[in-house]
A and B are shown apart, each in its own frame.
Chain A
Amino acid sequence: MQGLIAVFRKELQDQLSSYRFVILFALIAMVSFITSYMAAVHMRENLEALASTRFPFLMLFSTPGVMFSMVQFVAFFGPLIGLVSGFDAINRERAQGTLIKVISQPVYRDAVINGKFLAGVTTISIMFTAILLVISGFGLALVGVVPGVEEIWRLFIYLLISIFYIAFWLGLSILFSILFKSIATSALASVALWIFLSFFVSLGAEVAANTVAPIDRQNETSPEAVLQHARIQEGVSLCSPMILYSNATATIIDPMRKTTRSIILMGPMEELLSARFQNPLGLGQSLLVVFPHIIALIAITVVCFAISYAIFMLQEVRT
Protein backbone atom coordinates (compact mmCIF):
# COMPACT_ATOMS: atom_id res chain seq x y z
CA MET A 1 0.00 0.00 0.00
CA GLN A 2 2.73 2.46 0.98
CA GLY A 3 4.29 2.17 -2.44
CA LEU A 4 1.00 2.60 -4.24
CA ILE A 5 0.19 5.76 -2.32
CA ALA A 6 3.67 7.20 -2.89
CA VAL A 7 3.59 6.52 -6.63
CA PHE A 8 0.01 7.76 -6.89
CA ARG A 9 0.85 11.02 -5.15
CA LYS A 10 3.91 11.67 -7.23
CA GLU A 11 2.17 10.86 -10.49
CA LEU A 12 -0.84 13.01 -9.64
CA GLN A 13 1.46 15.87 -8.82
CA ASP A 14 3.30 15.39 -12.11
CA GLN A 15 0.08 15.20 -14.12
CA LEU A 16 -1.52 18.25 -12.60
CA SER A 17 1.56 20.42 -12.88
CA SER A 18 2.55 19.37 -16.38
CA TYR A 19 2.17 21.66 -19.37
CA ARG A 20 0.39 18.99 -21.31
CA PHE A 21 -2.37 18.89 -18.72
CA VAL A 22 -2.78 22.65 -18.85
CA ILE A 23 -2.87 22.67 -22.65
CA LEU A 24 -5.33 19.80 -22.86
CA PHE A 25 -7.52 21.28 -20.20
CA ALA A 26 -7.56 24.64 -21.92
CA LEU A 27 -8.38 23.04 -25.26
CA ILE A 28 -11.18 20.85 -23.94
CA ALA A 29 -12.61 23.62 -21.77
CA MET A 30 -12.61 26.07 -24.65
CA VAL A 31 -14.34 23.74 -27.08
CA SER A 32 -16.85 22.69 -24.43
CA PHE A 33 -17.70 26.30 -23.73
CA ILE A 34 -18.22 27.03 -27.38
CA THR A 35 -20.41 24.00 -28.00
CA SER A 36 -22.52 24.54 -24.93
CA TYR A 37 -22.81 28.24 -25.67
CA MET A 38 -23.98 27.44 -29.18
CA ALA A 39 -26.44 24.94 -27.78
CA ALA A 40 -27.69 27.47 -25.26
CA VAL A 41 -28.20 30.17 -27.88
CA HIS A 42 -29.94 27.71 -30.12
CA MET A 43 -32.18 26.65 -27.27
CA ARG A 44 -33.04 30.17 -26.23
CA GLU A 45 -34.26 30.91 -29.71
CA ASN A 46 -36.25 27.75 -30.06
CA LEU A 47 -37.37 26.93 -26.57
CA GLU A 48 -40.74 28.63 -27.00
CA ALA A 49 -41.30 26.90 -30.27
CA LEU A 50 -40.85 23.47 -28.74
CA ALA A 51 -44.24 22.30 -27.57
CA SER A 52 -43.21 20.57 -24.41
CA THR A 53 -39.58 20.11 -23.62
CA ARG A 54 -39.28 17.67 -20.79
CA PHE A 55 -35.60 17.92 -20.06
CA PRO A 56 -34.36 21.27 -21.28
CA PHE A 57 -31.25 21.10 -19.15
CA LEU A 58 -29.89 17.98 -20.76
CA MET A 59 -30.32 19.56 -24.17
CA LEU A 60 -27.36 21.70 -23.28
CA PHE A 61 -25.23 18.61 -23.78
CA SER A 62 -27.07 16.87 -26.57
CA THR A 63 -28.04 19.74 -28.89
CA PRO A 64 -25.66 20.18 -31.75
CA GLY A 65 -25.25 23.94 -31.87
CA VAL A 66 -23.36 24.57 -35.08
CA MET A 67 -21.16 21.55 -35.60
CA PHE A 68 -21.46 19.04 -32.82
CA SER A 69 -22.90 18.61 -29.37
CA MET A 70 -20.91 18.25 -26.20
CA VAL A 71 -21.59 14.51 -26.14
CA GLN A 72 -20.29 14.07 -29.67
CA PHE A 73 -17.28 16.18 -28.94
CA VAL A 74 -16.25 14.04 -25.98
CA ALA A 75 -16.78 10.89 -28.02
CA PHE A 76 -14.38 12.19 -30.67
CA PHE A 77 -11.74 13.96 -28.62
CA GLY A 78 -12.09 12.46 -25.16
CA PRO A 79 -9.70 9.64 -26.13
CA LEU A 80 -7.01 12.21 -26.75
CA ILE A 81 -7.05 13.11 -23.05
CA GLY A 82 -6.48 9.50 -22.11
CA LEU A 83 -3.80 8.93 -24.72
CA VAL A 84 -1.85 12.04 -23.90
CA SER A 85 -1.90 11.24 -20.18
CA GLY A 86 -0.48 7.77 -20.61
CA PHE A 87 1.57 7.26 -23.75
CA ASP A 88 4.92 7.73 -21.99
CA ALA A 89 3.98 6.38 -18.56
CA ILE A 90 6.43 3.49 -18.40
CA ASN A 91 8.89 3.99 -21.24
CA ARG A 92 9.87 7.47 -20.11
CA GLU A 93 10.84 6.06 -16.71
CA ARG A 94 12.71 3.31 -18.46
CA ALA A 95 14.54 5.78 -20.69
CA GLN A 96 15.63 8.03 -17.85
CA GLY A 97 16.60 5.07 -15.67
CA THR A 98 14.20 5.73 -12.83
CA LEU A 99 12.08 2.61 -13.18
CA ILE A 100 14.73 0.29 -11.76
CA LYS A 101 15.29 2.72 -8.92
CA VAL A 102 11.63 2.73 -7.96
CA ILE A 103 11.15 -1.02 -8.12
CA SER A 104 14.34 -1.72 -6.19
CA GLN A 105 12.69 0.03 -3.25
CA PRO A 106 10.65 -2.20 -0.93
CA VAL A 107 7.43 -1.95 -2.94
CA TYR A 108 5.52 -4.46 -4.99
CA ARG A 109 6.10 -3.99 -8.65
CA ASP A 110 2.43 -3.48 -9.41
CA ALA A 111 2.42 -0.39 -7.21
CA VAL A 112 4.07 1.44 -10.11
CA ILE A 113 1.52 0.61 -12.77
CA ASN A 114 -1.49 0.80 -10.43
CA GLY A 115 -0.35 4.15 -9.10
CA LYS A 116 0.13 5.52 -12.58
CA PHE A 117 -3.22 4.28 -13.81
CA LEU A 118 -5.08 5.55 -10.76
CA ALA A 119 -3.39 8.93 -10.97
CA GLY A 120 -4.38 9.16 -14.63
CA VAL A 121 -7.98 8.25 -13.88
CA THR A 122 -8.07 10.78 -11.07
CA THR A 123 -6.75 13.52 -13.34
CA ILE A 124 -9.32 12.65 -15.97
CA SER A 125 -12.10 12.65 -13.39
CA ILE A 126 -11.08 16.01 -12.01
CA MET A 127 -10.83 17.50 -15.48
CA PHE A 128 -14.12 16.11 -16.65
CA THR A 129 -16.13 16.85 -13.54
CA ALA A 130 -14.88 20.42 -13.53
CA ILE A 131 -15.86 20.94 -17.15
CA LEU A 132 -19.28 19.40 -16.64
CA LEU A 133 -19.97 21.56 -13.62
CA VAL A 134 -18.81 24.72 -15.32
CA ILE A 135 -20.94 24.03 -18.35
CA SER A 136 -23.91 23.34 -16.12
CA GLY A 137 -23.42 26.64 -14.36
CA PHE A 138 -22.94 28.35 -17.66
CA GLY A 139 -26.17 26.90 -18.99
CA LEU A 140 -28.00 27.76 -15.83
CA ALA A 141 -27.13 31.37 -16.33
CA LEU A 142 -27.67 31.43 -20.08
CA VAL A 143 -30.86 29.44 -20.49
CA GLY A 144 -32.27 29.91 -17.03
CA VAL A 145 -33.50 26.37 -16.47
CA VAL A 146 -32.89 24.50 -13.28
CA PRO A 147 -32.02 20.79 -13.58
CA GLY A 148 -34.37 18.32 -11.98
CA VAL A 149 -33.29 15.35 -9.92
CA GLU A 150 -33.48 12.95 -12.82
CA GLU A 151 -31.41 15.24 -14.98
CA ILE A 152 -28.72 15.39 -12.36
CA TRP A 153 -28.71 11.61 -12.13
CA ARG A 154 -28.44 11.32 -15.88
CA LEU A 155 -25.55 13.76 -15.94
CA PHE A 156 -23.84 11.80 -13.19
CA ILE A 157 -24.16 8.53 -15.09
CA TYR A 158 -22.95 10.29 -18.21
CA LEU A 159 -19.93 11.44 -16.23
CA LEU A 160 -19.19 7.91 -15.02
CA ILE A 161 -19.44 6.40 -18.49
CA SER A 162 -17.21 9.12 -19.88
CA ILE A 163 -14.58 8.49 -17.24
CA PHE A 164 -14.57 4.80 -18.07
CA TYR A 165 -14.38 5.60 -21.77
CA ILE A 166 -11.38 7.88 -21.33
CA ALA A 167 -9.82 5.43 -18.86
CA PHE A 168 -9.95 2.81 -21.61
CA TRP A 169 -7.77 4.99 -23.79
CA LEU A 170 -5.49 5.72 -20.87
CA GLY A 171 -5.09 1.99 -20.27
CA LEU A 172 -4.39 1.46 -23.95
CA SER A 173 -1.69 4.11 -24.06
CA ILE A 174 -0.09 2.71 -20.89
CA LEU A 175 -0.09 -0.70 -22.57
CA PHE A 176 1.75 0.79 -25.53
CA SER A 177 4.19 2.54 -23.26
CA ILE A 178 5.04 -0.87 -21.81
CA LEU A 179 5.26 -2.62 -25.16
CA PHE A 180 7.32 -0.01 -27.00
CA LYS A 181 10.65 1.15 -25.68
CA SER A 182 10.57 4.38 -27.62
CA ILE A 183 8.25 7.17 -26.53
CA ALA A 184 7.63 8.36 -30.08
CA THR A 185 6.58 4.87 -31.18
CA SER A 186 4.10 4.45 -28.37
CA ALA A 187 2.62 7.90 -29.02
CA LEU A 188 2.24 7.15 -32.71
CA ALA A 189 0.81 3.70 -32.10
CA SER A 190 -1.81 5.02 -29.69
CA VAL A 191 -2.87 7.79 -32.03
CA ALA A 192 -3.00 5.37 -34.95
CA LEU A 193 -5.21 2.98 -33.05
CA TRP A 194 -7.41 5.85 -31.93
CA ILE A 195 -7.92 7.01 -35.50
CA PHE A 196 -8.52 3.49 -36.69
CA LEU A 197 -11.03 2.57 -34.00
CA SER A 198 -12.82 5.89 -34.08
CA PHE A 199 -13.01 6.74 -37.75
CA PHE A 200 -12.23 3.73 -39.87
CA VAL A 201 -14.27 1.08 -38.14
CA SER A 202 -17.52 2.65 -39.32
CA LEU A 203 -16.18 2.70 -42.87
CA GLY A 204 -15.07 -0.88 -42.46
CA ALA A 205 -18.51 -1.80 -41.18
CA GLU A 206 -20.06 -0.54 -44.39
CA VAL A 207 -17.56 -2.46 -46.49
CA ALA A 208 -18.03 -5.66 -44.49
CA ALA A 209 -21.80 -5.41 -44.76
CA ASN A 210 -21.63 -4.78 -48.50
CA THR A 211 -19.38 -7.76 -49.05
CA VAL A 212 -21.32 -10.26 -47.00
CA ALA A 213 -24.84 -9.08 -47.77
CA PRO A 214 -24.79 -6.83 -50.80
CA ILE A 215 -27.82 -4.71 -51.46
CA ASP A 216 -28.65 -4.47 -55.11
CA ARG A 217 -30.28 -1.15 -55.74
CA GLN A 218 -31.46 -1.99 -59.24
CA ASN A 219 -33.11 -5.28 -58.55
CA GLU A 220 -35.14 -6.05 -55.57
CA THR A 221 -33.25 -7.41 -52.65
CA SER A 222 -34.93 -9.76 -50.29
CA PRO A 223 -35.83 -8.30 -46.92
CA GLU A 224 -33.60 -10.89 -45.28
CA ALA A 225 -30.58 -9.55 -47.12
CA VAL A 226 -31.40 -6.00 -46.10
CA LEU A 227 -31.77 -7.09 -42.50
CA GLN A 228 -28.52 -8.99 -42.58
CA HIS A 229 -26.79 -6.00 -44.11
CA ALA A 230 -27.95 -3.79 -41.26
CA ARG A 231 -27.07 -6.38 -38.66
CA ILE A 232 -23.53 -6.84 -39.91
CA GLN A 233 -23.01 -3.13 -40.16
CA GLU A 234 -24.17 -2.61 -36.61
CA GLY A 235 -22.17 -5.53 -35.27
CA VAL A 236 -18.92 -4.42 -36.84
CA SER A 237 -19.30 -0.78 -35.91
CA LEU A 238 -19.87 -1.76 -32.28
CA CYS A 239 -16.25 -2.90 -32.25
CA SER A 240 -15.39 0.76 -32.00
CA PRO A 241 -15.34 2.06 -28.44
CA MET A 242 -16.43 5.41 -29.82
CA ILE A 243 -19.65 3.97 -31.22
CA LEU A 244 -20.26 2.07 -27.99
CA TYR A 245 -19.77 5.24 -26.03
CA SER A 246 -21.82 7.43 -28.35
CA ASN A 247 -24.75 5.04 -28.26
CA ALA A 248 -24.60 4.69 -24.51
CA THR A 249 -24.30 8.36 -23.68
CA ALA A 250 -26.75 9.58 -26.29
CA THR A 251 -29.41 7.38 -24.75
CA ILE A 252 -28.54 8.42 -21.23
CA ILE A 253 -28.49 12.12 -22.00
CA ASP A 254 -31.56 12.10 -24.24
CA PRO A 255 -34.53 10.41 -22.56
CA MET A 256 -36.52 10.60 -25.78
CA ARG A 257 -34.19 8.11 -27.41
CA LYS A 258 -35.65 4.70 -26.83
CA THR A 259 -33.25 2.43 -28.64
CA THR A 260 -29.79 2.41 -30.10
CA ARG A 261 -30.88 0.31 -33.06
CA SER A 262 -31.64 1.62 -36.49
CA ILE A 263 -35.27 1.58 -37.59
CA ILE A 264 -34.69 -1.26 -39.97
CA LEU A 265 -33.72 -3.64 -37.18
CA MET A 266 -36.74 -2.91 -35.02
CA GLY A 267 -39.56 -5.36 -34.74
CA PRO A 268 -43.00 -4.19 -35.89
CA MET A 269 -44.27 -3.60 -32.35
CA GLU A 270 -41.17 -1.66 -31.36
CA GLU A 271 -41.52 0.49 -34.42
CA LEU A 272 -45.15 1.15 -33.64
CA LEU A 273 -44.36 2.00 -30.04
CA SER A 274 -41.62 4.44 -30.83
CA ALA A 275 -43.83 6.17 -33.39
CA ARG A 276 -46.89 6.34 -31.18
CA PHE A 277 -45.67 7.13 -27.75
CA GLN A 278 -43.74 10.32 -27.41
CA ASN A 279 -43.14 10.14 -23.69
CA PRO A 280 -39.57 10.02 -22.44
CA LEU A 281 -38.11 6.89 -20.91
CA GLY A 282 -37.53 6.63 -17.21
CA LEU A 283 -33.93 6.63 -16.07
CA GLY A 284 -34.04 2.92 -15.26
CA GLN A 285 -35.38 2.11 -18.70
CA SER A 286 -32.77 4.27 -20.42
CA LEU A 287 -30.09 2.46 -18.47
CA LEU A 288 -31.58 -0.86 -19.42
CA VAL A 289 -31.42 0.01 -23.12
CA VAL A 290 -27.70 0.73 -23.04
CA PHE A 291 -26.74 -1.65 -20.26
CA PRO A 292 -24.80 -3.94 -22.63
CA HIS A 293 -22.94 -0.94 -23.99
CA ILE A 294 -21.94 0.22 -20.53
CA ILE A 295 -20.84 -3.24 -19.47
CA ALA A 296 -18.84 -3.64 -22.68
CA LEU A 297 -17.10 -0.31 -22.10
CA ILE A 298 -16.17 -1.24 -18.54
CA ALA A 299 -15.05 -4.66 -19.72
CA ILE A 300 -12.69 -3.39 -22.40
CA THR A 301 -11.22 -0.91 -19.93
CA VAL A 302 -10.58 -3.66 -17.40
CA VAL A 303 -9.23 -6.10 -19.99
CA CYS A 304 -6.90 -3.48 -21.42
CA PHE A 305 -5.50 -2.66 -18.00
CA ALA A 306 -5.22 -6.33 -17.08
CA ILE A 307 -3.11 -7.00 -20.17
CA SER A 308 -0.75 -4.14 -19.35
CA TYR A 309 -0.56 -5.35 -15.78
CA ALA A 310 0.33 -8.89 -16.76
CA ILE A 311 2.96 -7.81 -19.28
CA PHE A 312 4.52 -5.33 -16.89
CA MET A 313 4.75 -7.86 -14.07
CA LEU A 314 6.55 -10.39 -16.26
CA GLN A 315 8.86 -7.99 -18.05
CA GLU A 316 12.47 -7.77 -17.03
CA VAL A 317 13.52 -4.34 -15.90
CA ARG A 318 17.20 -3.49 -16.15
CA THR A 319 17.18 0.28 -16.37
Chain B
Amino acid sequence: MIIETTDLTKRYGHQTAVNHLSLKVEEGEIFGFLGPNGAGKTTTLLMLLGLTQPSDGSAMVCGLNPLRMAREVKRHVGYLPENVGFYGDMDANQSLEYVAALNGIGRKDAREKITDLLELVGLSKDARKKTAAFSRGMKQRLGIAEVLMKNPKVLFLDEPTLGLDPEGAIQIVGLIQSLNQNRNMTVLLSSHNLSQVQRISHRVGIMIAGSLIAEGSIDALAKESFGLGEREYSLEEVYMKYFQEV
Protein backbone atom coordinates (compact mmCIF):
# COMPACT_ATOMS: atom_id res chain seq x y z
CA MET B 1 0.00 0.00 0.00
CA ILE B 2 1.51 3.26 -1.02
CA ILE B 3 -1.21 5.32 0.65
CA GLU B 4 -3.02 4.12 3.71
CA THR B 5 -5.17 6.10 6.10
CA THR B 6 -6.89 4.91 9.23
CA ASP B 7 -9.78 6.87 10.69
CA LEU B 8 -8.38 10.09 9.29
CA THR B 9 -10.55 12.93 10.58
CA LYS B 10 -10.48 16.68 10.16
CA ARG B 11 -12.78 18.98 12.08
CA TYR B 12 -13.13 22.72 11.65
CA GLY B 13 -14.89 23.89 14.78
CA HIS B 14 -18.13 21.91 14.84
CA GLN B 15 -17.95 20.97 11.21
CA THR B 16 -16.41 17.69 10.20
CA ALA B 17 -14.72 18.00 6.82
CA VAL B 18 -13.31 14.49 6.74
CA ASN B 19 -14.92 11.81 8.84
CA HIS B 20 -13.02 8.66 9.84
CA LEU B 21 -11.61 8.09 6.40
CA SER B 22 -9.94 4.76 5.77
CA LEU B 23 -8.46 4.74 2.33
CA LYS B 24 -6.05 2.35 0.68
CA VAL B 25 -4.31 3.01 -2.59
CA GLU B 26 -1.97 0.48 -4.12
CA GLU B 27 1.26 1.26 -5.84
CA GLY B 28 0.96 1.77 -9.58
CA GLU B 29 -2.77 2.34 -9.77
CA ILE B 30 -4.87 5.28 -10.81
CA PHE B 31 -7.36 5.94 -8.08
CA GLY B 32 -10.34 8.10 -9.00
CA PHE B 33 -11.37 10.23 -6.06
CA LEU B 34 -14.97 11.31 -6.60
CA GLY B 35 -17.48 13.37 -4.75
CA PRO B 36 -19.41 16.62 -4.86
CA ASN B 37 -17.78 19.96 -4.13
CA GLY B 38 -17.00 20.40 -0.46
CA ALA B 39 -16.97 16.66 0.24
CA GLY B 40 -13.52 16.89 1.78
CA LYS B 41 -11.40 15.62 -1.08
CA THR B 42 -8.95 18.52 -1.09
CA THR B 43 -8.72 18.47 2.70
CA THR B 44 -7.83 14.79 2.51
CA LEU B 45 -5.12 15.48 -0.05
CA LEU B 46 -3.71 18.29 2.11
CA MET B 47 -3.59 15.99 5.12
CA LEU B 48 -1.83 13.31 3.08
CA LEU B 49 0.78 15.91 2.12
CA GLY B 50 1.27 17.08 5.68
CA LEU B 51 0.07 20.58 4.84
CA THR B 52 -2.87 20.29 7.21
CA GLN B 53 -2.90 18.57 10.55
CA PRO B 54 -5.52 15.89 10.98
CA SER B 55 -7.71 16.22 14.07
CA ASP B 56 -7.67 12.48 14.51
CA GLY B 57 -6.45 9.28 12.93
CA SER B 58 -3.30 8.72 10.96
CA ALA B 59 -2.00 8.41 7.44
CA MET B 60 0.96 6.75 5.78
CA VAL B 61 2.24 7.87 2.39
CA CYS B 62 5.13 5.95 0.83
CA GLY B 63 5.69 4.40 4.24
CA LEU B 64 6.08 7.83 5.88
CA ASN B 65 3.89 9.66 8.31
CA PRO B 66 3.10 13.05 6.74
CA LEU B 67 2.46 14.57 10.14
CA ARG B 68 6.02 14.02 11.25
CA MET B 69 7.98 13.79 8.02
CA ALA B 70 6.13 16.26 5.84
CA ARG B 71 9.24 17.24 3.94
CA GLU B 72 10.16 13.66 3.12
CA VAL B 73 6.62 12.94 1.97
CA LYS B 74 6.68 16.01 -0.27
CA ARG B 75 9.86 14.68 -1.85
CA HIS B 76 7.92 11.70 -3.20
CA VAL B 77 4.51 13.23 -3.78
CA GLY B 78 3.70 15.73 -6.47
CA TYR B 79 0.60 17.82 -5.83
CA LEU B 80 -1.22 19.74 -8.52
CA PRO B 81 -3.73 21.97 -6.74
CA GLU B 82 -7.02 22.94 -8.25
CA ASN B 83 -6.49 26.30 -9.97
CA VAL B 84 -2.72 26.12 -9.78
CA GLY B 85 -1.16 29.60 -9.84
CA PHE B 86 1.93 30.98 -11.50
CA TYR B 87 4.06 34.07 -11.19
CA GLY B 88 2.80 36.10 -14.12
CA ASP B 89 6.08 37.85 -14.83
CA MET B 90 7.99 34.59 -15.21
CA ASP B 91 8.09 32.55 -18.39
CA ALA B 92 7.57 28.79 -18.44
CA ASN B 93 11.30 28.18 -18.22
CA GLN B 94 11.83 30.42 -15.20
CA SER B 95 8.79 28.98 -13.51
CA LEU B 96 10.22 25.49 -13.83
CA GLU B 97 13.66 26.72 -12.76
CA TYR B 98 12.18 28.04 -9.54
CA VAL B 99 10.47 24.74 -8.82
CA ALA B 100 13.74 22.94 -9.56
CA ALA B 101 15.57 25.23 -7.12
CA LEU B 102 12.94 24.55 -4.46
CA ASN B 103 13.57 20.85 -5.00
CA GLY B 104 17.29 21.32 -4.64
CA ILE B 105 18.07 20.34 -8.22
CA GLY B 106 21.28 21.87 -9.53
CA ARG B 107 21.16 24.32 -12.41
CA LYS B 108 22.71 22.03 -14.95
CA ASP B 109 20.48 19.06 -14.21
CA ALA B 110 17.52 21.37 -14.07
CA ARG B 111 18.13 22.70 -17.56
CA GLU B 112 18.09 19.22 -19.07
CA LYS B 113 15.06 18.25 -17.07
CA ILE B 114 13.17 21.38 -18.07
CA THR B 115 13.73 20.65 -21.76
CA ASP B 116 12.48 17.10 -21.31
CA LEU B 117 9.45 18.10 -19.29
CA LEU B 118 8.41 20.89 -21.64
CA GLU B 119 8.68 18.38 -24.46
CA LEU B 120 6.59 15.88 -22.52
CA VAL B 121 3.74 18.29 -21.84
CA GLY B 122 4.01 19.86 -25.29
CA LEU B 123 5.08 23.34 -24.28
CA SER B 124 8.52 23.44 -25.91
CA LYS B 125 7.45 26.23 -28.22
CA ASP B 126 6.13 28.36 -25.38
CA ALA B 127 9.14 28.05 -23.09
CA ARG B 128 9.90 31.76 -23.33
CA LYS B 129 6.35 32.95 -23.07
CA LYS B 130 5.21 34.68 -19.87
CA THR B 131 2.83 32.51 -17.89
CA ALA B 132 0.41 35.44 -17.61
CA ALA B 133 -0.29 34.95 -21.32
CA PHE B 134 -0.94 31.21 -20.95
CA SER B 135 -4.33 29.72 -21.66
CA ARG B 136 -5.96 27.52 -19.06
CA GLY B 137 -4.92 24.36 -20.80
CA MET B 138 -1.33 25.50 -21.08
CA LYS B 139 -1.28 26.47 -17.41
CA GLN B 140 -2.57 23.06 -16.45
CA ARG B 141 0.12 21.36 -18.54
CA LEU B 142 2.81 23.61 -17.11
CA GLY B 143 1.48 22.73 -13.66
CA ILE B 144 1.93 19.05 -14.43
CA ALA B 145 5.46 19.70 -15.68
CA GLU B 146 6.23 21.45 -12.39
CA VAL B 147 4.83 18.56 -10.41
CA LEU B 148 6.96 16.09 -12.40
CA MET B 149 10.12 18.09 -11.70
CA LYS B 150 10.84 16.14 -8.53
CA ASN B 151 10.24 12.82 -10.26
CA PRO B 152 7.50 11.80 -7.85
CA LYS B 153 6.31 8.31 -7.01
CA VAL B 154 2.80 9.52 -6.34
CA LEU B 155 0.75 12.21 -8.06
CA PHE B 156 -2.10 14.05 -6.38
CA LEU B 157 -4.10 15.74 -9.10
CA ASP B 158 -6.95 17.94 -7.92
CA GLU B 159 -9.40 18.55 -10.76
CA PRO B 160 -6.75 18.59 -13.49
CA THR B 161 -9.29 18.87 -16.31
CA LEU B 162 -11.60 21.42 -14.75
CA GLY B 163 -12.56 24.16 -17.17
CA LEU B 164 -10.58 22.78 -20.08
CA ASP B 165 -11.84 22.41 -23.62
CA PRO B 166 -12.45 18.76 -24.70
CA GLU B 167 -9.20 18.58 -26.62
CA GLY B 168 -7.17 19.95 -23.73
CA ALA B 169 -8.88 17.60 -21.31
CA ILE B 170 -8.15 14.60 -23.52
CA GLN B 171 -4.49 15.62 -23.71
CA ILE B 172 -4.25 15.83 -19.94
CA VAL B 173 -5.99 12.50 -19.43
CA GLY B 174 -3.69 10.88 -21.99
CA LEU B 175 -0.70 12.37 -20.22
CA ILE B 176 -1.84 11.02 -16.86
CA GLN B 177 -2.36 7.58 -18.32
CA SER B 178 1.05 7.52 -19.96
CA LEU B 179 2.75 8.65 -16.75
CA ASN B 180 1.05 5.82 -14.94
CA GLN B 181 1.94 3.22 -17.54
CA ASN B 182 5.43 4.32 -18.54
CA ARG B 183 6.77 5.64 -15.27
CA ASN B 184 4.71 3.54 -12.90
CA MET B 185 3.44 6.57 -11.03
CA THR B 186 0.58 6.09 -8.63
CA VAL B 187 -2.10 8.67 -9.33
CA LEU B 188 -4.75 9.96 -6.98
CA LEU B 189 -7.11 11.77 -9.27
CA SER B 190 -9.92 13.94 -8.02
CA SER B 191 -12.35 14.89 -10.74
CA HIS B 192 -15.95 15.62 -11.61
CA ASN B 193 -15.61 14.36 -15.12
CA LEU B 194 -16.85 10.84 -14.57
CA SER B 195 -16.41 9.49 -18.08
CA GLN B 196 -12.75 10.47 -18.04
CA VAL B 197 -12.26 8.93 -14.63
CA GLN B 198 -13.95 5.76 -15.83
CA ARG B 199 -11.66 5.59 -18.82
CA ILE B 200 -8.38 5.70 -16.93
CA SER B 201 -8.82 4.73 -13.31
CA HIS B 202 -8.38 1.26 -11.94
CA ARG B 203 -10.39 1.90 -8.83
CA VAL B 204 -12.54 4.72 -7.56
CA GLY B 205 -13.65 6.01 -4.18
CA ILE B 206 -16.80 8.04 -3.68
CA MET B 207 -16.70 10.57 -0.91
CA ILE B 208 -19.78 12.39 0.27
CA ALA B 209 -19.94 14.82 3.19
CA GLY B 210 -16.60 13.74 4.56
CA SER B 211 -17.17 9.99 4.46
CA LEU B 212 -15.98 7.46 1.95
CA ILE B 213 -19.19 5.64 1.07
CA ALA B 214 -17.86 3.34 -1.62
CA GLU B 215 -14.50 2.11 -2.80
CA GLY B 216 -13.46 -0.42 -5.41
CA SER B 217 -13.30 -1.06 -9.12
CA ILE B 218 -16.15 0.33 -11.18
CA ASP B 219 -17.47 -3.12 -12.00
CA ALA B 220 -17.48 -4.14 -8.38
CA LEU B 221 -19.33 -0.98 -7.38
CA ALA B 222 -21.86 -1.53 -10.16
CA LYS B 223 -22.48 -5.03 -8.95
CA GLU B 224 -22.85 -3.84 -5.40
CA SER B 225 -25.36 -1.14 -6.22
CA PHE B 226 -27.35 -2.64 -9.07
CA GLY B 227 -26.89 -6.32 -8.45
CA LEU B 228 -26.05 -8.59 -11.37
CA GLY B 229 -27.23 -6.65 -14.37
CA GLU B 230 -27.42 -7.70 -17.98
CA ARG B 231 -25.61 -4.63 -19.17
CA GLU B 232 -22.54 -2.72 -18.06
CA TYR B 233 -23.26 0.31 -16.00
CA SER B 234 -21.35 3.54 -16.53
CA LEU B 235 -19.61 5.24 -13.64
CA GLU B 236 -22.12 8.03 -13.90
CA GLU B 237 -25.01 5.72 -13.15
CA VAL B 238 -23.15 4.12 -10.28
CA TYR B 239 -22.21 7.50 -8.86
CA MET B 240 -25.77 8.82 -9.03
CA LYS B 241 -27.10 5.67 -7.41
CA TYR B 242 -24.76 6.07 -4.44
CA PHE B 243 -25.47 9.77 -4.32
CA GLN B 244 -29.22 9.24 -4.11
CA GLU B 245 -28.86 6.65 -1.39
CA VAL B 246 -27.10 9.07 0.94
Given the complex, which residues of B lie within 8 Å of A9, measured CB to CB? 101
CB A111 to nearest CB in B, in angstroms, measures: 8
Q: A96-B86, A318-B46 are in contact. Are A102 and B102 (CB under 8 A)?
A: yes
Q: A2-B102, A6-B101, A10-B98 are in contact. Are A103 and B87 (CB under 8 A)?
A: no
Bound CA–CA A319/B42 (angstroms): 11
* 8 Å CB contact of B81 from A93, A97, A106: A97
CB A218 to nearest CB in B, in angstroms, measures: 61
- Encode contact with B along A1-42: 1 for CB under 8 Å, 0 otherwise: 011011101100010000000000000000000000000000
* 8 Å CB contact of B51 from A5, A6, A317: A317
CB B113 to nearest CB in A, in angstroms, measures: 14
CB B246 to nearest CB in A, in angstroms, measures: 25
Contact B51 A98 (CB under 8 A): no
Q: Does B104 contact A (CB under 8 A)?
A: yes
Contact A98 B87 (CB under 8 A): yes
Stretch touching chain A among B71-79, B190-198, B207-215: B71-79
Q: Does B217 contact A (CB under 8 A)?
A: no
Chain A residues touching B, range: 20 to 34
Given the complex, which residues of B lie within 8 Å of A14, measured CB to CB? 89
Q: Does B103 contact A (CB under 8 A)?
A: yes
Q: Does A107 contact B (CB under 8 A)?
A: yes
Q: Does B83 contact A (CB under 8 A)?
A: yes
CB contacts under 8 Å to B, within A152-211, are none
Q: How many A-B contacts are there with CB distance less than 8 Å?
A: 70
Contact B81 A107 (CB under 8 A): no
Q: Does A306 contact B (CB under 8 A)?
A: no
Contact B46 A101 (CB under 8 A): no
Given the complex, which residues of A lie within 8 Å of B104, measured CB to CB? 2-3, 106
Given the complex, which residues of B lie within 8 Å of A96, measured CB to CB? 85-88
Q: Does B150 contact A (CB under 8 A)?
A: yes
Contact A104 B71 (CB under 8 A): no
Q: A105-B74, A106-B71, A108-B71 are in contact. Are A100 and B81 (CB under 8 A)?
A: yes
Query: Closest B-chain residue to A9, C-beta based?
Result: B101
Bound CA–CA A14/B46 (angstroms): 29
Contact B71 A318 (CB under 8 A): no
Contact A319 B102 (CB under 8 A): no
Q: How many chain B residues touch A (Cβ–Cβ < 8 Å)?
A: 27
Query: Closest A-chain residue to B85, C-beta based?
Result: A97
Given the complex, which residues of B lie within 8 Å of A317, measured CB to CB? 51
CB B136 to nearest CB in A, in angstroms, measures: 13
Q: Does B91 contact A (CB under 8 A)?
A: no
Given the complex, which residues of A lie within 8 Å of B148, measured CB to CB? none
Given the complex, which residues of A lie within 8 Å of B99, measured CB to CB? 101, 105
Contact A98 B79 (CB under 8 A): no
CB contacts under 8 Å to B, within A66-112, are 93, 96-98, 100-108
Bound CA–CA A96/B84 (angstroms): 8
Q: Does A220 contact B (CB under 8 A)?
A: no
Query: Closest A-chain residue to B78, C-beta based?
Result: A104
Q: Does B92 contact A (CB under 8 A)?
A: no
Given the complex, which residues of A lie within 8 Å of B101, measured CB to CB? 2, 5-6, 9-10
Bound CA–CA A6/B46 (angstroms): 23
CB contacts under 8 Å to A, within B140-185, are 143, 146, 150
Q: Does B52 contact A (CB under 8 A)?
A: yes
CB B139 to nearest CB in A, in angstroms, measures: 10
Given the complex, which residues of A lie within 8 Å of B87, measured CB to CB? 96, 98
Instruction: Name 15 A/B residue pairs within 8 A (Cβ), A-sorted.
Output: A2-B101, A2-B102, A10-B98, A96-B86, A97-B81, A98-B86, A102-B102, A104-B49, A104-B79, A105-B150, A106-B74, A106-B103, A106-B150, A107-B102, A319-B83
Interface of A with B (CB < 8 Å)? 2-3, 5-7, 9-10, 14, 93, 96-98, 100-108, 316-319
Q: List 4 other contacts, CB 8 Å, given A93-B85, A105-B103, A106-B74.
A: A101-B85, A104-B49, A106-B150, A316-B51
